[in-house]
Amino acid sequence: MANRKLSQKKKILNHMQKTGFINPLQALTRYGCFRLSAIIYDLRNGGHNIVTKAMKNKNGNTYARYEYLAG
């Protein structure tokens, strides 16, 4: 189980470094990650600079978009 979490964390970090952001739907459909906020928490504690932006979809529902800030 721990190896799977590390694998998801690495995949999500690579995705964010490549595209600059990720949202929960992308994490779920691409990487099978149901708890993106927990992985973001771990990445932040690991020294990565990630900010959370509140976004709204076309129906007015709010979701989080996590943006990776290089540096």
Range(s) of the domain holding residue 48: 2-68
Residue 20, CB half-sphere, CA atoms under 13 Å: how many?
Answer: 1
Question: In the predicted model, what is the mean pLDDT of the chain?
Answer: 93
pLDDT at 26: 97
| Total of domains in the chain | 1
- What share of the chain in percent tops pLDDT 90? 87
Please say if the pLDDT value at position 1 is more than 60.
no
pLDDT at 5: 57
- pLDDT tens for 10-41 read 999 999 999 999 999 999 999 999 999 999 99
CATH number at residue 61: 1.10.10
Q: Are 13 and 70 in contact (CB under 8 A)?
A: no
Q: What is the DSSP track for 37-52? A: HHHHHHHHHTT--EEE
pLDDT band at 70 (very low <50, low <70, confident <90, very high): confident
